[in-house]
Structure formats: structure tokens, C-alpha cells
Amino acid sequence: MPQVSMTVNGKPASGEAEGRTLLSQFLRETLGLTGTHVGCDTSQCGACVVHVDGKAVKACTMFALEAEGADVATIEGQAAPDGTLNPIQQAFQDHHGLQCGFCTPGMVMSAAALLKENPKPSEAEIRDYLEGNLCRCTGYHNIVKAIMAASGQDVGALAAE
Amino acid sequence: MPKDHGIGASSKRREDVRFLTGDGNYTDDINVHGQAYVHFLRSDVAHGRLTSVDTSEAGKMPGVVRIFTGADFEGVGGLPCGWCVTDRHGEPMQEPGHPVLAQGKVRHVGDPIAAVVADTPEQARDAAEAIIADIEEFPAVVDMKAALKEGAPKVHDDLSSNLCYDWGFVEENREAVDKAIQEAAHVTTLELVNQRLVANPMEPRVAIGEYSRARDEHTLYTTSQNPHVIRLLMGAFVLGIPEHKLRVVAPDVGGGFGSKIFHYAEEAFCTFAAKAVNRPVKWTSSRSEAFMTDAHGRDHVTKIELALDADNNFTALRTDTHANMGAYLSTFAPSVPTWLHGTLMAGNYRTPLIYVNVKAVFTNTVPVDAYRGAGRPEATYQLERVIDKAARELGVDPIALRRQNFVTEFPYATPVAVEYDTGDYNATMDKLEEIADLKGFAARRKESEARGRLRGLGVNCYIEACGIAPSNLVGQLGARAGLYESATVRVNATGGLVVMTGSHSHGQGHETSFAQVVADMIGIDENMVDIVHGDTANTPMGMGTYGSRSIAVGGSAMVRATEKIIAKAKKIAAHLLEASDADIELKDGAFTVAGTDKSVAWGDVTLAAYVPHNYPLEDIEPGLEETAFYDPANFTYPAGAYACEVELDPETGKVTVERFAAADDFGNIINPMIVDGQVHGGIGQGIGQALLESCAYDENGQLLSASYMDYAMPRADDVPFYSVDHSCSTPCTHNPLGVKGCGEAGAIGSPPAVVNAVIDAMQSGGHKVDHIDMPVSPSRVWTAMNG
Ligand code: FES
Ligand code: FES
């Protein structure tokens, strides 16, 4: 089986992968990084979103071999080494942006990519950007609110909603 | 002032930290040393006879451990049904067998024919593709009314027809209802479809079976809302394994919404196969597989008639429903269109006479069972739609018509067997009018119209029966299980507590809210309380989480166990303080002798319990651990009023939800933040049902919506921010917390509000449309308006 090497959350990582092994599968099964979730087989749910070379990518749309030499970031690398949550993670907790947590890694990684592109997105821009991330639990209300809060916007008025 | 800790505080969820850092432990994250993988070969036809299953070539493929077919399960029990409904004539329902792997016939697309166990998932899948299954295809029955016609193909050859049961409720009222409808001043009739849905928790189902030959012990890891129920059903009825030899673990579970209540074939298969091949066996559902194997929801076709007198008082209600069971009876399927539906037909109203008829029908489709709300959304939808239609026909305000007919005195015994303990429907309606800013609607409509859009307002009420349920009552109604809940509270020597609950959290945040309750009762920090759930090895027998029952039933069990702890701790404190235990008070984590300043801290008492040097050993045992089982005296009855405003583009028929408001009465609230989140999620699913979702079959029983390409899930840009309020509170009178439960309300209350709003929008544009079926897609709207 071919060997593939990449950087994952700043550390070198390598392993064997078949031609058909998806990046999502490689992360979960070979590297044991089970924070990246698989919620579908048609690249529609976004539970598997990671960053590859700084861009949000659905890890189920890419073969592991295609990530040779890439810089991959997953949910496991988002908090500080001492466990302090990053501002997006913290906002998700503060604003109850997750329930079962299954969509959450993908949501957090998508939100991070959005805020990098657009540091103060409007509600509509957030909803539009999350088009590829399904959540069945939250009705999206608190996810959108958390992302607005993470971008430094005042969501106090929304709290009354 | 909002509270900052204990009952009533929006404590942040402790479980979030692991979910936000990728440290959750979902079933698919578990890998057991030496595990093999199973891939199921599933029927691609809806109905047919299995003439042969040839596994000879497949069996030689690389990595294959063993291939199983129906023949391997001949001596094994089938999947049991947990509820027997008695029909109008006093006869039990028709109950077909449900083999783990198909035997003789396949009955729906997705029915498992064979299972390949191999070293890797890829090898299992490759080998499954090499199995040659010969199926003599039969015509399929998909439409329920066609399935009941003379001569229709039978899903189960050994049953007399495709009718599971013909249920009448309350049968004694039948003639009186007919008469009242005949004599009414006005009768509004509506025919509607509550379409088939797929629950779609984002985590697909997973099962891992493990067997220890040396200890003769089985373990099943599974994505379940109720591990104890799975242990009992699978152990006692399918595989013949006693509970002490079977451990079922449901770790972090990524949403359920009902679909993970049921006992599924894959769980039994993995448990069985692990012993047969002497290796752990893992199955992970793909999403496509989930669409054709997870129990579906809803799928009712209904005619409802509402009779009113000359003063617009409701005088009688008659409903006639065909409910799809699919090809087999899923675990609780028979109860959904009957006891979870018929008993709610009174809604929030004083309708003296009600008759509900339900015909449950077998078809060549995936089994249908409870999905968030389960029966209650179907009841609410038809009732609240017909009331809206009646208001329009009579030219009266739909809110006024509702208010006029509200139940206002409690307790209220409905004509459909339940007794509402508390409620204040005018209060929630008042609150709704305020938070939805109904006064501002006319101006908003004008503004929409100026942009060439139609705007509609839809309002409705709902009531649900939650906190399921008094065991003796459901036993009389056909349940084959009790519906109590349990908790063990273990206090450690240094004062921390572990609560082991039979409830299960798969997104509801029990680890936080349950801890708030116990900490509040004792007056200690929430972080001193840990909640353990999801593993039959370390929790008392409990019935799990569904039917908005966790806080009302599981929370009550926990309160009872904690009360026992406190009573014993007071005895210890009395001994330490040399006082009588009747004089001991517990406040803020300290025991004091009433009227004195003598006190002893919680931690000193707990330490004394485990280091009983100075201890009343002659009166009480050392240690501090108590268990309680709580069986509720009644259901709880959350209720509320919802409002939706839509904008409709007459050019395209596209509907957008602009505003949504929900005023709920959940009784007392433990964690307002979590309650808001539960309502948001339910509304999201209800808007999904109203506008987007539909599980469709063609006439041959092919599943047309088998992936997210074809099944439209609500996305972030399909929904607005919601305005929710639960300040109108009439606490439940029969459980110790005064709570009612909030998990399903949003999904129950929201679909009629959306559809009522769409009809209102169309009517405001001069289109005389009085009904449209869900999902209210652009093409349906456009066709309805343009004929
Ligand atoms: S698993 Fe990648 S999008 Fe669903
Ligand atoms: S939190 Fe459960 S799917 Fe989003």
C-alpha cells in the first residue's frame, strides 16, 4: 500500500493509504483523530470539514494520497495546548451552539475559515457560508449567534429573541 | 434576576468541552482490538421471493471471515414489537415476524439479505457485491389505500391482509360523534397528508458486537437512546442472552430524535456474529444505508371534520387516518398513530365529543416509528389546520376562535382519556401576541407587498403528553414495557457525587442540567456532581430518553434518590451535632440545628459515612448511596402558542420564513439556555417538515430520496432567528420538580404555523386556496395559485 505523509495540527504524520482511502477515513482510522466526523456519503453534511493548506475542505471529498505534503488542521488542534478553547470554540459553548456535538467539529472549522475571509460577517453571510454544514439539533439559531459573537459582534439583543 | 447556579440557571454545558475539541466518544470512534467489519447486502427491490443466495464466490474473496444469510438465523428470535394495539373489535393487531436477515421474502428496499464479515470494511463491501441473490420480484404495495384493496399483494403472506389494525377511539363515542356532526350548524372538513420523514440525526447508526468466550459475556456498543431497553429486547427476545451476560453501551450519541430508540437488526447481528466468528464485529451505517434502514416517521393520510354550533363553539371532532407501518413493525410503531395521537386530539380545546379512527397498514417500505413528537405532531397539525380553515369559512379571527374554545379550568378530563393537570392557554397566547409583535404584522405585510411579495401570518396552539409514562396505564394500553426511570446517587467520602441515571443524553445536556438539580438540592457547587449514563454496566435499569421524559421522569427519580441521601445524611449530622434529626436543616451545603448556630459541613457528614468512627452504627449503615425508581402518576402536558410569518414570491412560489415565535409553558425550568436550544431545534425540524423534507417512494417501492441530494434537510439559510419564551409557567402538579419537558414541543408546534401562514399569504393575494400539503415547495405553491 502506498505511504502518505502530511503535517497534521503542526506535527508530521504519515501512514499507509489505499488509492480509495478518503482523507476523512485516514484521519479517523489511521491517525486516530476521531474528532473529524463522517455524516454522509455524498459530501453534503460538512461534519468532516478540516483545513488543508489553510482552506476549509470537506475531508470526505479528498483522497488521503492527495494530501501528500499538505498542511492539515483538524478540530483536535484548535484549542491551546493547555486546553483553553479558541474564541470560536468558546463562543459555541457560551451561546449553546451545539447539542449532540456531531456537526460541531465541522461547524467550528467552517466558522474559522469564514472569519479568516470575512472577520465581521453579517447574519445573512454566515447563513450563506454554512450552506454546506448540516446541523439537525440546533435549528442553527445558536450556531449563527455564536459565530457573530466570536467575530466580536454584540449579540445581546438577540438574546432576547 | 436570572440565577447564576442551580435550578433555573443557564449553566454552560460541561459536555461541550469534549465535543468542541474532538474528544467526544461516539460509537464509531470506538475500535475494539481484533475487530472485523460487516457489510450488509440489501435488497434493491421492494418485494420479492428470495429464490437463492449464492455466496460461494464471495466467500473466497480476500479477507472474508464468514458470510451469514437468513438460514443462519432460523433458530434465532425475530425483532420484537414492544406495543400491542387492540383493534375496534377487541382483537389484537396483526403482528408479523421480523427476521434479523431476510428469510424467504424481501419486503422493502434495504431489507438485509446477507452479511459479510471481513477483515476490513472494503473487503466486506467488495465481497458483498460478489454475492448472487436471486429474487423473484413481486408487485409492491406502497400506497396505503391501495394496500387495503381486495386482492392487493400481501406484504406478509401469513397475515390475512395488509391491515395491521383498525383502531377506534373512543369507540363508545362513535355514534354520538356522528350525530353531533350531522346536527352541527357548521362542519369544516379537511383532507391532508402528514408526509413521511426521515429523522436524520447527523450521526449515522453504528453497532459493535464483542464476545468473551472465557467469561461468556457479550458487549454491544450502539448508537442508542436507551441501552437498557436494547439489552432487554435483544437479550430476552432475539438472542436469548440473560441481562447479566450482556452489557450494552451507548456512549456519546450524535442525536436521535426517536430513530435511535428502536432495536435494529444490525445490533442483533453484530452481537450474534461476534460470538459466531469469535471476533468483535463492527458495523457503521453509511448515510445512504441510514435512509433505507433507520425507522422513518409520520406518514399519515387523514380526513378531519370539525363541527361547530351557531356560536362557533366546537361541538364534535371526527378524524380518520391511514397510518403507514412500513414492511415490519418497528419497536414502538403501533403506539404512535394510536395512543400518542388519538389521545391528543382534544388539543387545547373543550370539544366534548371526539372520535378517532386509525387504520395501520403494511406496505413495502421502510418501517415507520416515532420521530420527534411521534403522533402528537400529526394530531396537532390536523387539528390546528382544520381550526384555521373553519375560522376562514366562518369569517372569524383564528386567534379569537381558538381563545373562545380554550380549556380554561384545570384539571381537565378530555373525552380522549387523558387529564390535563395544569395550563393557561390564554397566557401563552397573550405572550405570543407580544413576542411575535402581531400588532406590527399589518405594516410588515404592506412593506412586503410594496416589494411584490405576499406576506402571511399563521398562528396555532399545541398540547402534548410528555413525561412518558405511568406504567400501569400504558400497560393497559398495550405497552409491553414499564416506563419508569431510575437513578442511583453515590456520594463519595469527600463529598462529591456521582449520579447514575437510566436516562440517556444524545444532545440534551443532561450532564449539566441533571447536575444543577442535585447540586441545588444539597446546596453545593455543580462541579461536585457528575452524571453517568449510557452503560448498562454502571447504571440502574432505566427506560431511556424519548417522549420528552428525561427531566420529568428521570429527573424525578434523581430527586427521589437525592431525597433519600439527604434524609440519611441528616441522621448522620444529627448524631455528629448531638441533636434530633427532625431539627436538622440542610442549606448551602451545611447541616444546622434549627434555631442554633451549631452546624456541620456536607463534607464532614459524607466523610463520617465512610469513616464511621463517630457514627450511629446501631441505627444506620455506613456509606451514602441510594437508588430510586420513579413511575409518574400522569403524563405532563406542555402547551403553547406559535406564530410564523412567511413571505411568498408569487413569481416563483418560493416561501421564506421571515419570523417565528414560540410561547411555551414547560412548567418549571432547570436550564433556560438548554430549553431555548431544544425549542430552536424542534422549530428547525418543523420548518424542515413544512417547507422542505419529504421521503418519497415511486410506485414500485423504490426509495427516491435516499441521500442528502434528494432529501432536503433544512440548512442555516432556510430558517430565521427564532423568538422563544417560556415565562408562562404552570408547574406540573404531580412530579417533584414541577417540570413538563421541552424536547418535542418545537417539532410539534411549528408545522401548522408555517402552513397556516402560507395559506394566509396566498389568500391575501386573492388566491382561494384553503389547503396545501407539506412540504410546501415552490412548485406546489405556484401550482396551487396558478391552477
Ligand atoms: S462526511 Fe463529508 S460532507 Fe458529509
Ligand atoms: S449539534 Fe447535533 S447535529 Fe449539530
Per-residue model confidence as pLDDT tens digits over B539-562 = 999 999 988 899 999 999 999 999
**How far, in Å, from the CA of A106 to the mean position of ligand 1?**
9
Which CATH number is B27-138+202-255+260-293's, of 3.40.50.2300, 3.90.1170.50, 3.30.70.3270, 3.40.50.1370? 3.90.1170.50
Of B527, B511, B23, give the one whose Cα is nearest residue A85. Answer: B23
Domain B484-630 class, CATH top level: alpha beta
Residue B272 amino acid letter: F
Cβ(B434)–Cβ(B661) below 8 Å: no
Residues of chain B with CATH 3.90.1170.50: 27-138+202-255+260-293
Query: How far is residue B723 from each of residues A130, B133, B639, B676, B729, measured CA to CA in Å?
Result: 21, 54, 16, 9, 17
Smallest Cβ–Cβ distance between B200 and the set A92, A104, A136 belongs to A136
Of B132, B68, B144, B130, give the one whose Cα is nearest residue B103. Answer: B68
In the numeric block, the cell 372569524 is attached to B396
Domain ranges of chain A: 3-77, 87-150
DSSP string, B444-458: HHHHHHHTT-EEEEE
Residue B575, pLDDT > 70, answer yes
Measure the CA angle with vertex A73, ends A72 and A76; round to 5°: 135
Q: Read off the pLDDT of each residue in B771-776 and give the average, rounded to a whole number.
A: 98
Per residue in B507-532, pLDDT tens?
Answer: 999 999 999 999 999 999 999 999 99
Cβ(B739)–Cβ(B672) below 8 Å: no
- In chain B, what are the helix, strand and coil shares in percent, each to the nearest 5? 30, 25, 45
How far separated are the first and last CA of chain A, in Å rounded?
55
Q: How many CB atoms are closer than 10 A to CB B90? A: 7
Domain B297-468+634-785 class, CATH top level: alpha beta
| A140 against A160, higher pLDDT | A140
Confidence of residue B1 (pLDDT cuts 50, 70, 90): low
Q: Read off the pLDDT of each residue in B250-257 and give the average, rounded to a whole number.
A: 97
Domain A87-150 in the same topology as domain A3-77: no
A26 touches chain B (CB under 8 A): no
Residue A1 amino acid letter: M
DSSP string, chain A: --EEEEEETTEEEEEE--TT-BHHHIIIIIS--TTS----SSS-S-TTEEEETTEEEEGGGSBGGGGTT-EEE-GGGSS-TT-PPPHHHHHHHHTT--SS-SSHHHHHHHHHHHHHH-SS--HHHHHHHGGG---SSSTTHHHHHHHHHHTT---HHHHT-
Q: What CATH homologous superfamily does A3-77 map to? A: Beta-grasp domain (3.10.20.30)
Beta bridge partners of B667: B739
In the numeric block, the cell 448515510 is attached to B287
Residue B46 amino acid letter: A
DSSP SS3 for B322: strand
H/E stretch holding B58 reads helix B56-59
Helices (H), B451-529: 471-476, 510-522
Give this complex's ipTM: 0.98
Burial letters for B392-424: b for 16+ Cβ neighbours within 10 Å, e otherwise?
A: beeeeebbebbbebbbeeeebebbbebebbbbb
| Helix B425-435 vs helix B398-405: crossing angle, to nearest 10 | 160
Q: How many CB atoms are closer than 10 A to CB A160? A: 8
CA-CA distance, B198 to B189, in Å (whole number)?
Answer: 29
Cross-chain residue pair B202–A79, CB shorter than 8 Å:
no
Beta bridge partners of B503: none
CA-CA distance, A31 to A106, in Å (whole number)?
Answer: 18
Q: Is the CB of A101 under 6 A from ligand 2?
A: yes
Ligand 1 surroundings by CB, under 6 angstroms: A 38-40, 43-48, 58, 60
Burial class (CB in 10 A: 0-12, 13-18, 19+), B329: buried
**Ligand 2 atom closest to the CA of A107, numbered from 1:** 4
**Ligand 2 atom closest to the CA of B201, numbered from 1:** 3
The predicted pLDDT at position B4 comes to 86
The predicted pLDDT at position A160 comes to 45
Residue A161, pLDDT > 50, answer no
Best of A37, A45, A95, A98 to mutate for ligand 2, by most ligand atoms within 8 A of CB?
A98
Residues of A in contact with B203 (CB under 8 A): 37, 39, 100, 102
Peptide bond into B96 cis (omega under 30): no
Per residue in B140-178, pLDDT tens?
Answer: 999 999 999 999 999 999 999 999 999 999 999 999 999
Q: Quick one: CATH architecture of A87-150?
A: Orthogonal Bundle (1.10)
**Ligand 1 atom closest to the CA of A44, numbered from 1:** 3
The predicted pLDDT at position B2 comes to 72
Confidence of residue B740 (pLDDT cuts 50, 70, 90): very high
Residue B712, pLDDT > 50, answer yes
Q: How many CB atoms are closer than 10 A to CB A19? A: 9
Confidence of residue A156 (pLDDT cuts 50, 70, 90): confident
In the numeric block, the cell 508530521 is attached to A12
Percent of chain B with pLDDT over 90: 96
Residue A37, pLDDT > 60, answer yes
Q: Which residues contact B732 (CB under 8 A, 6 or more apart)?
A: B421, B422, B467, B552, B636, B637, B667, B668, B738, B739, B740
Confidence of residue B672 (pLDDT cuts 50, 70, 90): very high
Cross-chain residue pair B708–A40, CB shorter than 8 Å:
yes
CA-CA distance, B512 to B531, in Å (whole number)?
Answer: 8
Beta bridge partners of B129: none
DSSP SS3 for B318: strand
Closest Cα in chain B to A94: B12
Residues of B in contact with A140 (CB under 8 A): 680, 684, 714-716, 719
The one-character DSSP state at B252 is: B
CA-CA distance, B424 to B166, in Å (whole number)?
Answer: 35
Measure the CA angle with vertex B239, ends B233 and B241; round to 5°: 80
**How far, in Å, from the CA of A102 to the mean position of ligand 2?**
5
Of B557, B561, B257, give the one whose Cα is nearest residue A99. Answer: B257
Cell readout for B311 is 356560536
Of A97, A15, A118, give the one whose Cα is nearest residue B507. Answer: A97
A139 touches chain B (CB under 8 A): yes
A31 touches chain B (CB under 8 A): no
Q: Read off the pLDDT of each residue in B365-393 and give the average, rounded to a whole number.
A: 97
Q: Which residues contact B115 (CB under 8 A, 6 or more apart)?
A: B38, B39, B40, B41, B67, B68, B69, B101, B269, B273
Q: How far is A158 from chain B (nearest CA, A)?
A: 8
The predicted pLDDT at position B547 comes to 84
Per residue in B641-650, pLDDT tens?
Answer: 999 999 999 9
Residues of A in contact with B713 (CB under 8 A): 134, 136
Cβ(B712)–Cβ(B775) below 8 Å: yes
Cβ(A64)–Cβ(A22) below 8 Å: yes
CA-CA distance, B527 to B515, in Å (whole number)?
Answer: 8
Confidence of residue A132 (pLDDT cuts 50, 70, 90): very high
The predicted pLDDT at position A158 comes to 73
Cell readout for B683 is 422549530
CA-CA distance, B240 to B550, in Å (whole number)?
Answer: 29
